[in-house]
A and B are shown apart, each in its own frame.
Chain A
Amino acid sequence: MSNNSNSFVRHEMLEERAPPVGEGGVLKWVRENLFSSVFNTIMTIIAVWVIYSITVGVAPWFLNGVWNAETTRECYEILDGVNGACFAVLQERFPQLIYGFKYPSTEYWRPNWATILLLVALAPVLFRRLPKRLLVFTVIYPFLAYWLIWGGSVLIPTVAFIGCCVGGVCYKRFSSGAFATAIILSLISAYLCWFLGGYLISWNEAFLSLKVVPSRDMGGFMLNLLLGTIAVSLSIPLGIALALGRQSNMPIIKWICVVFIEFIRGVPLITLLFVANVILAFFFPPETSIDLILRVIIMMTFFNSAYIAEVVRGGLAALPSGQYEAANSLGLDYSQSMRFIILPQALKISIPGIVNVSVGMLKDTTLVSIISMFDLVGMIRGPILSSTDWNGVYWELFGAAAAIFFVVCFTVSKYSQWLERQLETGKH
């Protein structure tokens, strides 16, 4: 069997030789990816030139940046004719950029905690692996956040929360019977709770009270986050309802929803903000005065819900009609089939779209600066740039604003892409 004696048979393998220098490692990669053709080479050279010129333009400005100064003039004195940024403004005006210029500085811990707890509250919604019990905190969060940001007695949000809980429990208890009875009963019980709670609140207004901060004192990036979060979270249920209404067989309801959605989508957000600013007050009863931030939230919620409705409608339309028929043939009524069969699938399809729309909403909250509210952009354009100390520091401030928004929006859109991959249920 052994052919060992045959001298022409090789007994051991030769060692593998390295490929030619041009065929391996970095060189091969560079050749194939950057210089594969004349056109490609030209493109590479142009791209490298673009990167080079941007770097040459920005790097010294960035590296020479002054971080400690009191005014623009001091900045220029330190720079002494050298091209450099004046980042000192960011340091000196940091609280204004983040919290606005009226929020009491002793209370900064409150929005900070509200933001941190927001992440905690969002976690079980965003990551489905986390235990479902954490959702309890998500339900509590809005009331807690209200107390933290606006202050006042802890009793107000507590009573509101208890009322909602009682209403919810009531609905759960009676929902096995007639739907309408359950709704009416839960509304009545919740209202009773709030009514009785009113006495409790007036009995001790200072109980565990935080300093009250009126809405008009909110500002900076906090205001952007606040408007964005509230508008998005309110507009998701409204948007789903509008989408269902638009799909409905009942002509009047369908018609109302279509007109609402198309109207809102047809006008720019800025005109809706004008409405919030100058017109909406005319539609409230004469003696009430509803503050601007609430009016803006109402209009932003309407705006966002119309877009979310269109995304959800896309999701509903994407479901094969067999799903609807299957739900019907199982004998489920409309609300059951929607809750158990249709919406879970449709919402799953539309989550990336909803996230995109919501990122858009967060970006659009900067428009409130045009109706002279002092959000991040409003703070920069208003109090900071017009102050004599920091005259003419455009780039650093707008660059910082852009960076803040970029970090938040980029993270959210990356999350949405990740979620899209997670939700893919083996279609292929």
Chain B
Amino acid sequence: MNTSQISRRDNFKFSMLLNDKRYRSYTFQFLALLILIFIMAYLGKNLLENLASAGLNISYSFLGEASGYDINQRLIEYNSQSTHLRAAFVGVLNTLLVAFLGCIMATVFGVTAGILRLSNNWIVAKLMMIYVEIFRNVPVLIWILIIHSVFLTILPQPKAFRGENPEASMLWDAVAFTGRGIYLPKPIFYDGSAVVIATFILSIIGVFAFRFYARQKLYSAGQLIETRWTSLAIFFIPTILVYFIMGNPIGLEYPELKGFNFKGGIYARGSLISLWFALSIYTGAFIAEVVRAGIQSVNQGQTEAASALGLRSNLVMNLVVLPQALRVIVPPLISFYLNITKNSSLALAVGYMDVTGTLGGITLNQTGRAIEAVLLLMLFYLVISLSISAIMNVYNRSIMLKER
């Protein structure tokens, strides 16, 4: 009898660490960990030495100091006496603003172009193909710069609005498109506006409740209730009534030309507009391809089967094709939203003060705290990306084919 089989554990040889499958993975992991620790230690040592020789240290106290620079596009109160932390926060809000607007507009562009690319109309389909190919194959930075210069040159300067016979005029006397940006009317809330807003929100809830009720009725009693006009009525009538009862509590402040510039209203700077537009038209081209692929991925037989059941063409689209196409479309769509958020860091090229421009730009240059600023910057983007991908994972799980 071969005893070595039994007492194998005892005569452990050193070479088994490398050649025995049972131990080899431990060896590899141990080595990997060792190498990682070594690299970290080496880089850390270099970092400390370099910092010491440059007389620097790692400290985040600069965040509490006065920033000393101005930010022209901001959503919250800020002036040059505010802290660097507040400047970074203004930047974060600006990033989120342009990313949010960009996502909406890119979806509009992308879905429109994607559906039109599948159109039977030859000329429209080709036109959309040209749009998609041109925008996908040129760097987004070049698009941002081109669109920025388009806005600067095509739109009139504020001085063109002056005089008796101005060269340019405002749209409905309310919106001014100028080379410096777009001026919009700003809503002003007087006393009692809260009631109007509350009524509006309640009526939106009412529309959903009514539709839910109608669906319940349809499924339980087979009773078809007309929803379209009723929901429109619920949506508009109460709010308008309350608005007049409360005595027009919400007004609009129109932008007015004073001196060489417009005053009042909401001012969206040219850099915001061009960045927004460039990001959305660029990403829209990618989304168009995703939408097209999603619609094409639904088998022709599905459409035919739905028609054979007697569904009308819009019902075929809504009940059969879209739910299946969305399963293909939504995951890449969300990753394109993420791309917009990350690409919005190119705001630097047109001077829009997003978080890369404030924290990673002026704050970094003024304080010289490169390591801290860039780390914070990365942390911000990382938090955004990881939370979006967490949401995406939940969604993917919920729409996964439920195989039975």
Chain A residues, Cβ within 8 Å of B116: 43
A125 within 8 A of B: no
Is B133 an interface position by the 8 A CB rule? Answer: yes
Contact B121 A33, beta carbon cutoff 8 Å: yes
Q: Please judge, given known A-B contacts A265-B385, A274-B374, whether A377 and B145 are in contact too, CB under 8 Å.
A: yes
Asked whether A192 is an interface residue with its Cβ less than 8 Å from the other chain, the reply is no
A324 at the interface (CB under 8 A from B): no
- Are B149 and A394 closer than 8 Å at their CB atoms? yes
Contacts A282-B51, A366-B142 known; 9 new A-B pairs at CB < 8 A: A33-B123, A252-B29, A266-B384, A271-B378, A271-B381, A286-B53, A394-B145, A402-B143, A410-B137
**Does any Cβ of B come within 8 Å of A201's Cβ?**
no
Q: How large is the interface on B (under 10, 10 to 19, 20 to 34, 35 or more residues)?
A: 35 or more
Which of B33, B50, B141 has the most C-beta atoms of chain A within 10 angstroms of its own C-beta? B141
A283 and B43 contact, Cβ closer than 8 Å, known pairs A268-B343, A271-B356, A271-B360: yes
Q: What's the Cα separation between A369 and B346 when bound, in Å?
A: 11
Assess the A285–B122 pair: CB atoms within 8 A.
no
Contact partners of A283 in chain B: CB under 8 A: 43, 46-47, 50
Return chain B residues, CB-CB under 8 Å to A370: 141, 346, 348-349
The count of A-to-B residue pairs whose CB atoms sit within 8 angstroms is: 157
Q: Are B53 and A253 in contact (CB under 8 A)?
A: no
Chain B residues with CB under 8 Å of A359's CB are: 137
**A256 close to chain B: CB less than 8 A:** yes
Indicate whether A381 reaches chain B with its CB closer than 8 angstroms.
yes
Q: Across the interface, do B145 and A34 meet the contact criterion of CB distance under 8 Å?
A: no
Q: Are B342 and A366 in contact (CB under 8 A)?
A: no
B124 and A47 contacting across the interface, CB-CB below 8 Å: yes
The answer to whether the Cβ of B59 comes within 8 Å of any Cβ in the partner chain is no
Q: Is the CB of A263 within 8 A of B382?
A: yes
A423: chain B residues within 8 A (beta carbon):
none
Check if B224 is an interface residue, CB within 8 A of chain A.
Answer: no
* Contact residues, A358-379 vs B (CB, 8 A): 359, 363-364, 366-367, 369-370, 377
Contact status B374-A279, CB under 8 Å: yes
Known contacts A265-B385, A266-B382, A363-B138: does B119 contact A43 (CB below 8 Å)? Answer: yes
Report chain B residues within 8 Å CB of A47: 121, 123-124, 127
B120 contacts the other chain (Cβ, under 8 Å)? Answer: yes
Judge whether A40 is part of the interface by a CB distance below 8 angstroms: yes
Given contacts A256-B36, A395-B149, contact A405 B142 (CB under 8 A): yes
Question: A266 vs B134: C-alpha distance in the bound complex, in angstroms?
Answer: 27
Q: Is A196 an interface residue (CB 8 A)?
A: no
Is there a chain B Cβ closer than 8 Å to A323's Cβ? Answer: no
Which residues of the partner chain B approach A363 to less than 8 Å between Cβ atoms?
137-140
Residues of A within 8 A of B (CB): 33-34, 36, 40, 43-44, 47-48, 50-51, 178, 180, 249-253, 256, 262-263, 265-271, 274-275, 278-279, 281-286, 359, 363-364, 366-367, 369-370, 377, 381, 394-395, 398-399, 401-402, 405-406, 409-410, 413
Tell me, yes or no, whether B274 is within 8 Å of chain A by CB: no
Q: Is the CB of B137 within 8 A of A409?
A: yes
25 CB-based A-B contacts, threshold 8 Å? A43-B116, A43-B121, A47-B121, A47-B127, A250-B28, A252-B33, A253-B29, A266-B384, A267-B381, A270-B345, A270-B348, A271-B378, A279-B374, A282-B51, A283-B47, A284-B46, A286-B53, A359-B137, A363-B138, A363-B140, A370-B348, A370-B349, A377-B141, A398-B145, A406-B137
- Which residues of chain B in 329-384 are interfacial with respect to chain A, using CB atoms and an 8 Å cutoff? 342-343, 345-346, 348-349, 356, 360, 364, 370-371, 374, 377-378, 381-382, 384
List the B side residues contacting A366 at CB < 8 Å.
139, 141-142
Residue of B19, B133, B153, B342 touching A268 (CB-CB under 8 A): B342
The CA-CA distance from A50 to B127 in the complex, in Å, is 9
Q: Does residue B25 face the partner (Cβ distance < 8 Å to A)?
A: yes
Closest chain A residue to B18, Cβ basis = A180
Distance of A122 from chain B, by nearest CB (Å): 19
Does B197 have its Cβ within 8 Å of any Cβ on chain A? no
Specify which of A33, A267, A405 is in contact with B342 (CB 8 Å cutoff): A267
* Interchain CB contact under 8 A, A398 and B29: no
Asked whether, in the complex, the Cβ of A268 is within 8 Å of the Cβ of B345, the reply is yes
Q: Does B391 contact A (CB under 8 A)?
A: no
Which 6 A/B pairs are nearest by Cβ-Cβ distance? A266-B385, A268-B342, A409-B137, A363-B139, A278-B370, A252-B29
From B138, B349, B377, A274 is in contact (CB under 8 Å) with: B377
Residues in B with CB closer than 8 Å to A50 are 127
Q: A252-B29, A266-B386, A267-B381 are in contact. Are A401 and B348 (CB under 8 A)?
A: no
B368 to chain A, nearest CB (A): 9
CB nearest to A411 among chain B residues:
B137
Min CB distance B236 to A, Å, is 28
Residues of B with C-beta under 8 A to A253: 28-29, 32
